[in-house]
Amino acid sequence: MNKPLRRISLFCGLLVLALLIRTNWLQYVQAEDLSTRKENRRVLIAQYATERGNIVVQGGEPITGSAETDGSDFKFKRTYTDGPLWAPVTGYASQVFGSTQLENIEDGILTGNDDRLFFDRTIGMFTGEKKQGGNVVTTLNTAAQKAAFNGLGNRKGAVAAIDPRTGAILALASTPSYDPSSFAGFSEADGKAWNDLNASPDKNLVNRALRETYPPGSTFKVVTAAAALENNVVTDVNAPTDTPEPYILPGTRTPMVNHAKGCEKASLNFALEVSCNSVFANLGDKVTRDKMVQTAEKFGFNDTIDTPVRAFASVYDKTMGRDGNAQSSIGQFNTAATPLQMAMVSAAIANDGKLMKPYMVDQLTAPNLDVIEKHSPQEMSRPLSAANAQKLQQMMVNVVDKGTGSNAKIKDVVVGGKTGTAQHGEKNAKRPYAWFISYAENPDGTSPVAVAVVIEDSGADREDISGGGQAAPVAKAVMEAVLKNKR
């Protein structure tokens, strides 16, 4: 072979080698990236070619479905039963706008693409059965969810309810809500519904129970009480404290304002019952900032919580001065909490000091209902001893029986609670938030439900807004729903 032919042969050989390398690179190295790219329409067509698995609540009731579409190469779109009621739990799955929350986190199970469903897909290839998605079985209680949603009504706010014994989330409501079905498809109407929601100043798409933090106001006083007991700043809840009237914030000339009477040297028990600001500011200062931070973090503050939907971190400032710590000890200044976080606080106290990790997915099942994964309750921390938790329980029961939380009373049921009215805005000019946290007991002393309610805008006059007036009746309805379901 002459020299020119050898050169041509060598060049062609290099081209073939380059082609083989490129082909293998695409097939084995870049395959996953290419197959999951949002620009790859074939993947989207395949995703919507089959019915999506369902999200299910307690009792086996599906709250999602699928419907065939017209005029689109996406055969099926997502549907929702009582969409606005369950949207804070499900999130949305849209052919155009993607997915959020459980629809997004458990997408592999719901579409049937999860590796754990490989055997089902393989069997289907031989039997000719259509590919199906698996199901996500949640811990949500329908009666509790409806009580929370209906209790909030047309007011802006949120509710979180937990089973203190396991951490199972029983209700997760947020208002104003939205219907995920309204933009699940590919039509012009779906686009308009999406644009209208995003243009709304009410932030309907935000899950306020997990993704909004608020000053917790006086509901945070139970955390301060726990810190005072755990650090031996208070050993007798009925003994007088050394709180003067007026109480001056440390390092300032600013008096702490009380809205209750009888706060001078008030005991911890009485101070929680009537909600004395001065007593808890004084106790927070005596505990010290660092130990207040330590206790708050044991309850879950300063960390994100995956339920598996991620909740924003609640905040107790690690760097503030003494005056800031005193104000934070009554749930003001820089303190901020999600409703889920404050439900966790109440749950830990109700569960004798043991905080269980919150979760909302009980199990994942295959299309044939075989269990793929089952959740096991996990202890998260011990914010306080059983003995101190029981002292706080009695103090919270006094709040409901004799104090500011009387609107949460349930006949023949032991209920503990704490009200809160949180100031916010520049110079506290905006309407305060109404808070209530609580728990209810079974006859054997265990607690099947702990609740946190926050109402951003009750529509009431400023002077009429209170946690006991606006939020406590909602918490009561949720607790009654759970108790009725357990009987």
Q: Is 218 a catalytic residue?
A: yes
- Distance (Å, whole) CA 107 – CA 63: 16
The answer to whether the CB of 62 falls within 8 A of the CB of 82 is: no
How far from 7 is each of 13, 15, 16, 18, 115, CA to CA, in Å? Answer: 10, 12, 14, 16, 49
Residues 170, 151 contacting (CB under 8 angstroms): no
Strands ordered across the beta sheet of 361-365 = 61-62, 55-57, 135-138, 361-365, 371-374
Query: What is the SS3 assignment for 325?
Result: helix
**Cα dihedral sign, 181-183-184-187:** positive
Q: Rounded CA gap, 39 and 447, in Å? A: 50
End-to-end CA distance of the chain: 94
* Integer Cα distance of 436 and 452 in angstroms: 6
Catalytic residue among 66, 94, 181, 218: 218
- Backbone torsion region of residue 109, taken as left when φ is above 0, otherwise alpha when ψ lies between -120 and 50, otherwise beta: alpha
Residue 429 is given by DSSP the state -
**Adjacent-strand bridge partners of 364:** 136, 373
What ranges in 31-78 are assigned the alpha helix state H? 31-36, 41-47
Residues 477 and 170: beta-carbon distance below 8 Å: no
Amino acid at 261: K
Cα atoms found within 13 Å of the Cα of residue 147, Cβ hemisphere only: 26
Residues forming the active site? 218
